[in-house]
Each structure stands twice: as structure tokens, then as C-alpha cells.
Amino acid sequence: NAGVTQTPKFRVLKTGQSMTLLCAQDMNHEYMYWYRQDPGMGLRLIHYSVGEGTTAKGEVPDGYNVSRLKKQNFLLGLESAAPSQTSVYFCASSYSGRRNTEAFFGQGTRLTVV
């Protein structure tokens, strides 16, 4: 089983460039999330989706946009990359939002903005 797959795994961007990170899950999960991981800060929620066609802001949404046109895919976009967006990005999915539901994570995308 593939689980949650993130594309790409590594990327270097120049300031001002745009890019899209793709998250794909094959578990038919309703809920999907994008987090960023920074040293000393753990993982912080950027955006999330509770079903196809829905998106909502998380804790640190500024500078990012998302789309969930298909249930299995959750895209994270950076319209104009900034050095502050250098981070490791994780996508996660779960079949429900209940407190006892495990979230499954992708392998992460290491993004460097120079």
C-alpha cells in the first residue's frame, strides 16, 4: 500500500518563484492536512480539508493556498516563495476527525527558498 505520497521530496526555489506540492492518498480518507516542520517548533498546521471541495485555514496559512478538487489529492501552493517558507512540509490524512483516529503522514518535502 502506498498510503500518503508527497511530490516532490526535495526542491530549491528562488525568492518570488511559485510551486505546488502534491499530496496523494489511496486510503479513501476524508480528512487531509498540510503541516510545516521547523526546528524547535514542532509541526504546525497550514491548511486542512474535511472532504472533496472543502478547505480551511490552520495555524499558519499566510503565503499558502490549497485545493482539494479530488478526494485523494490535496495540493499546497506557494504563489511567491519567501525564505521564511524554507521548511519541511508534511501532508497527513485520516478517515475521520475523531480524537482517536490515527493520522497517516507522507514522507515529507524539504523545501529551501534562496
Partner 1 sequence: AQKITQTQPGMFVQEKEAVTLDCTYDTSDPSYGLFWYKQPSSGEMIFLIYQGSYDQQNATEGRYSLNFQKARKSANLVISASQLGDSAMYFCAMRPGGTSYGKLTFGQGTILTVHP
Q: How far is the CB of 80 from partner 1 (least distance, A)?
A: 26
Q: Give the residue with the Cβ less far from partner 1, 63 or 108.
A: 108
Q: Give the residue with the Cβ less far from partner 1, 48 or 74.
A: 48
Q: Binding of partner 1 at residue 13 (CB under 8 A)?
A: no
Query: Which stretch in 14-22, 62-70, 71-79, 99-107 sits in contact with partner 1 by CB under 8 A?
Result: 99-107
* Overall size of the chain counted in residues: 114
SS (H, E, C) 9-65: CEEEECCCCCEEEEEEECCCCCEEEEEEEECCCEEEEEEEECCCCCCEECCCCCCCE
Judged by CB under 8 A, the chain residues 35 through 54 that form the site for partner 1 are 35, 40-45, 48, 50
Q: How far is the CB of 93 from partner 1 (least distance, A)?
A: 10
Phi, psi of 88 (to 5 degrees): -105, 130
32 in Cβ contact with 68 (< 8 Å): yes
- Shortest CA distance to 78 belongs to which of 95, 97, 65? 65
Residue 53 to residue 49: CA distance in whole angstroms? 8
Q: Binding of partner 1 at residue 97 (CB under 8 A)?
A: yes
Q: Binding of partner 1 at residue 62 (CB under 8 A)?
A: no
Which residues are near partner 1 by CB under 8 A? 31, 33, 35, 40-45, 48, 50, 56, 58, 88, 90, 92, 94, 96-105, 107-108, 110
